[in-house]
Amino acid sequence: MIARRFFVCLLVIGVTGLIGLAEVGDVEITWYGHSMFTIVFEGGPSVLTDPFEPGLWGMTYPISPMDGVDIVTCSHEHEDHNYAQLATGNPVVLRGVSTSEGVIVIDESIGDVRFYTVEACHGPDVPCPLSDANAVFVIEGNGLRIAHLGDLGHVLSEEQAAAIGKVDVLLIPVGGGGPTIEARRADEVIAQLQPVVVIGMHYETPELGWGIDTIEPFLVGKIAVDVAERSLIINADTLPQEPTVFVLPYE
């Protein structure tokens, strides 16, 4: 059974700006479809994850060039995850995979936010060929540890789970289809990393049309909250008491 609620309290905001921030330490997460988010730390920086080119491969998510992005992270070099030029200006671009060398070891701080990568694979075969390299990005700031799993295609090894560490917020693919994990294996990864805030990504929507799983199988047996707006504000001092899946709209 899905325990599903509608989330309408002050933790949710719209895309028009940061409204009613409670205190220093807030983080705003906005989903734009597929695996693309902005993660905005109160006091900076603004991070764009796994951007894709508008209209790529038939995707019709309503996105356009973005101003005000400080950092772009790309989990791997597939076209639906590496369109860093979507961010205008001159952001820092952190590419998790080199097409000639595989996953790049990143561990650096930009401002007060730390970024580090953990090597993984896009697909179920581990180890994997260079073409299937995938970097998990862990982002630490404002008292939170956030993990974006990119196109993770397998349950984590003990070493990978330990390298990522226990996370507060997990951005996890759930649509399956072969190259990435589906609901069952996503549940295993959640058990490994023990997040309290979970946001699904890389699943079927009317604007994707790839024939992979929708988010519904992933929600079975979980506390699931339908977020009324496309952005969610979280704070390390007010995290849920039990693991909760937040379902964000993309427009």
Specify the CATH class of 3-247 in words: alpha beta
46 CB-near residues (< 8 Å, 6+ apart): 38, 39, 40, 68, 69, 70, 71
| Averaged pLDDT of the chain | 90
Confidence label for 230 from pLDDT (cuts 50, 70 and 90): confident
Percent of the chain having pLDDT more than 90? 83
pLDDT at 214: 97
Average the pLDDT over 121-139 and give the result. 93
Percent of the chain having pLDDT more than 70? 90
Q: Give me the residue label for tokens 């990119």.
A: 150
pLDDT at 179: 87
pLDDT at 2: 44
Alpha helices (H) in the chain, listed in sequence order? 158-164, 183-193, 216-219
By three-state DSSP, how is residue 126 classified? coil
Confidence label for 5 from pLDDT (cuts 50, 70 and 90): very low
The upper half-sphere exposure of residue 157, i.e. CA atoms within 13 Å in the direction of its Cβ, equals 11
End-to-end CA gap in the chain: 27
Confidence label for 22 from pLDDT (cuts 50, 70 and 90): very low
For residues 248 and 236, give the distance between their C-alpha atoms in angstroms, rounded to a whole number: 19
Q: Tell whether the model's pLDDT for residue 28 goes beyond 70.
A: yes
Among the ranges given (22-31, 102-111, 134-143), the one the predictor scored with the smallest mean pLDDT: 22-31
- Per-domain boundaries in the chain: 3-247
Q: What is the pLDDT of residues 168-196, one digit of tens each?
A: 999 999 999 888 999 999 999 999 999 99
Q: Give me the residue label for tokens 């693309």.
A: 36
By three-state DSSP, how is residue 56 classified? helix
pLDDT at 74: 98
The upper half-sphere exposure of residue 201, i.e. CA atoms within 13 Å in the direction of its Cβ, equals 26
pLDDT at 13: 34
Q: What is the pLDDT of residues 88-125, one digit of tens each?
A: 999 999 999 998 888 999 999 999 999 999 999 999 98
Q: Tell whether the model's pLDDT for residue 87 goes beyond 80.
A: yes
